Structure 1
Amino acid sequence: MAGGKAMEDPPSNQVDRGLNVLKTAPVNHGKNVPNQHKILTSFVAGGIAGAVAKTTIAPFDRTKINFQVSRNSFSTKAALKFLVNTCRTEGVTSLWRGNSATMIRIIPYAAIQFTSHEQFKILFSKKGQDYLPPAERFLAGSFAGITSTSATYPLDLVRARMAVTKRNTFHSAYEVLVKTYKSEGFLSLYRGYVPTVLGSIPYAGISFFTYDSLKKMHSEQFESEINAFHRMFYGAIAGAFSQSCTYPLDIVRRRMQTAGVIEGREKCYNSILGTIKRITIEEGFIRGMYKGLSLNWIKGPIAVGTSFMTFETVQQFLRRFEIFHE
């Protein structure tokens, strides 16, 4: 009987090896995780976070872009009318037009941004620090914004052009890249790059700074752990604040990005100052440079809050597995 029992039950060490990958450990927020595994988990979690956040607010994003690149005045009523008319004439799914191009861009963008942000925080941190000082918090976010924007910029231009053109103009992101390159030249793929980078420095800096600062305040004021609701709420505040501070540069980059595909604008909006001057003269500074901001106060907090919440939730889930521990 003893021999038969031994044959039925494999040695415990074999079971342990077979189930090793499935074992989990308490969440440790990155402590004792090798840096290469931090990079991997942040990259995966960042890509998922970007995809979830952008898909959630895609209809608002398309609405905002269309008003940003047009001379029509923005209002809540006009935005709702655009949404209704788009659904009637092109179908409900058209509200997500350009979202495939957005995914092609946002997944690597968010993955690179979150990963580089964590690496910059490691670079700026001193031993024993749980949170960076204020200046370093801002710099880590800013450098992460520059890194991700520079790495994926042509894909952002593709998304903007697909969002403001009719369905039969471009059939894929690849087609946008090829047609833009052939008709306007290689440098056209980087139209609006400078205002985008200039905007990403304060935007990412303020966003990450605000989010990390709110988490720091939470840890100092409350004994409870930061949960998914807190991450969503703090991310929403960070998104509203950062987008309000940098919105005019978002208007400028959209005008520059889409000038080549909107009739009559091929030679317009070729420089930052020229674009600002033209918008101000034709539409007024406040009405032109802050067009659609109220819509951004709805979609921005949702997007940023969802992004931060999803990123940290997925990252912590991945880091529970023992394969990511020393």
Structure 2
Amino acid sequence: MGSGVQEQRASLTQGEVLPLASSSQSEVSYEGLKHTRSVLNSLFSGALAGAVAKTAVAPLDRTKIIFQVSSARFSAKEAYRLIYRTYLKDGFFSLWRGNSATMVRVIPYAAIQFCAHEQYKRLLGGYYGFQGKALPPLPRLLAGSMAGTTAAMLTYPLDMVRARMAVTPKEMYSNILHVFVRISREEGLKTLYRGFTPTILGVVPYAGLSFFTYETLKKLHAEQSGRPQPYSYERLAFGACAGLIGQSASYPLDVVRRRMQTAGVTGHTYGTILGTMKEIVAEEGVIRGLYKGLSMNWVKGPIAVGISFTTFDLTQILLRKLHQMGYTAR
């Protein structure tokens, strides 16, 4: 009997069961590595997408912000005059003033947003039983809203800095760090989060509808065309539609947050969301105030969002192909 137990122990030490445990551990390790690589790919692709898109429309974006935070009446003609006067006075590259602050903000923002969207899609897909497939409409909307909220919460002070640099002369703030230091010293640290509430309220419909529209159009395209992947120009068109719908839905809150962010340098004392809205409407009206610059956004927004979504998708595809060809670490 003793020899039987010894034989069993001997057989265990020789590893009749151990290979199964080792195999299981290797599968878990492989899945963990695969997930980590997916997250890193999403972060890199999102960062690149945000940088390319925002740089492409930076002059229009800066012009829109200047009109948003002033009481001057907006028109396409006045926007063109502002761009031209800026070019004559400060040179061509002045049209990208504040873009360095935009990059400091948009690179982490876009990286977090796109990566979070992929993770929320995976989590919601597992919960609803749609893992690896297109999500149903409600989870699709929820994934986009949660991704935008996550990114906005983590990067908001950078958005404040970018707005300040866009509407002030270069003599006022020499660089990004100077903006942080001067705001903290002269207006208090809490100023860095002024306009945070309308930002979150605005980003929920904006990000939700943007991602929802883009994912929905890709799904419908696949069903109608029989092609799993749309062409690049089709991705741009889908992204443009997504940007148009998302930004139009959340635009008044975008105006409010800009007014609140720049109150310290424009002479206003905007305090609450409703108070800011009432003051804007009283001075400028609903359409000319809360929707000021929207027509420019209909040009800038679809271009930026289309470039952003397309760059993200194509970079993801490229990284997967490079991995399959053995150019990236396994």
* TM-score normalized with structure 2 length: 0.86
- Work out whether residues 241 and 302 of structure 2, in 8 Å CA contact, stay in contact via their aligned partners in 1: yes
Aligned-residue sequence identity (percent) comes to 54
Amino acid of the structure 1 residue aligned with 2:258: R
Q: Give the C-alpha shift of residue 251 in structure 1.
A: 0.2
Q: Give the C-alpha shift of residue 223 in structure 1.
A: 2.1
Q: Classify the secondary structure of the residue corresponding to 1:46.
A: helix
The Cα offsets for residues 297-322 of structure 1, whole Å up to 9 and x where unpaired, read as: 00000000000000111111112214
Q: Distance in 2 between matches of 1:94 and 1:124?
A: 44
- Work out whether residues 122 and 131 of structure 2, in 8 Å CA contact, stay in contact via their aligned partners in 1: no
The Cα offsets for residues 9-38 of structure 1, whole Å up to 9 and x where unpaired, read as: xxxxxxxxxxxxxxxxxxxxxx99821111
Name the counterpart of 1:124: 124
Name the counterpart of 2:290: 289
Name the counterpart of 1:253: 257
- Work out whether residues 146 and 204 of structure 2, in 8 Å CA contact, stay in contact via their aligned partners in 1: yes
> Runs of at least 4 residues of structure 1 off by over 3 A?
322-326
Q: Distance in 2 between matches of 1:287 and 1:318?
A: 45
| Pairs within 5 Å for 1:41-120 | 41-120=41-120
Alignment match of 1:227 (pick from 231, 234, 245): 231
Q: Distance in 1 between matches of 2:117 and 2:226?
A: 26
Q: Distance in 1 between matches of 2:329 and 2:91?
A: 49
Q: Which of these two proteins has the greater Rg computed from alpha carbons?
A: 2
Q: Which has the higher contact order (CA 8 A, sep 6+)?
A: 1
- 1 or 2, which has the higher helix percentage? 2
Structure 1 vs Structure 2 CA RMSD? 1.5
Q: Distance in 1 between matches of 2:148 and 2:265?
A: 27
Q: Distance in 2 between matches of 1:199 and 1:279?
A: 17
Name the counterpart of 1:147: 150
Alignment match of 1:204 (pick from 199, 202, 207): 207
Amino acid of the structure 1 residue aligned with 2:320: R
Q: Distance in 1 between matches of 2:320 and 2:213?
A: 25
- Work out whether residues 192 and 253 of structure 1, in 8 Å CA contact, stay in contact via their aligned partners in 2: yes
- Work out whether residues 218 and 226 of structure 1, in 8 Å CA contact, stay in contact via their aligned partners in 2: yes
Gaps of at least 5 residues in structure 1 are 1-30
Q: Distance in 1 between matches of 2:124 and 2:232?
A: 27
Q: Classify the secondary structure of the residue corresponding to 2:262.
A: helix
Q: Distance in 2 between matches of 1:221 and 1:130?
A: 16
Amino acid of the structure 2 residue aligned with 1:45: S
Name the counterpart of 1:274: 275
Q: Classify the secondary structure of the residue corresponding to 1:166.
A: coil
Name the counterpart of 2:176: 173
Q: Distance in 2 between matches of 1:124 and 1:178?
A: 41
Q: Give the C-alpha shift of residue 128 in structure 1.
A: 4.8
Amino acid of the structure 2 residue aligned with 1:301: P
- Work out whether residues 32 and 325 of structure 1, in 8 Å CA contact, stay in contact via their aligned partners in 2: no
- Work out whether residues 34 and 325 of structure 1, in 8 Å CA contact, stay in contact via their aligned partners in 2: no
Q: Distance in 1 between matches of 2:33 and 2:235?
A: 22
The Cα offsets for residues 42-98 of structure 1, whole Å up to 9 and x where unpaired, read as: 000000000000000000000000000000010010000101111111111110000
Amino acid of the structure 1 residue aligned with 2:241: I
Q: Give the C-alpha shift of residue 117 in structure 1.
A: 0.3
- Work out whether residues 33 and 325 of structure 1, in 8 Å CA contact, stay in contact via their aligned partners in 2: no
The Cα offsets for residues 114-163 of structure 1, whole Å up to 9 and x where unpaired, read as: 00000000010025551000000000000000000000000000000000
Q: Distance in 2 between matches of 1:274 and 1:209?
A: 31
Name the counterpart of 1:19: none
Q: Distance in 2 between matches of 1:33 and 1:246?
A: 38
Alignment match of 1:135 (pick from 132, 138, 143): 138
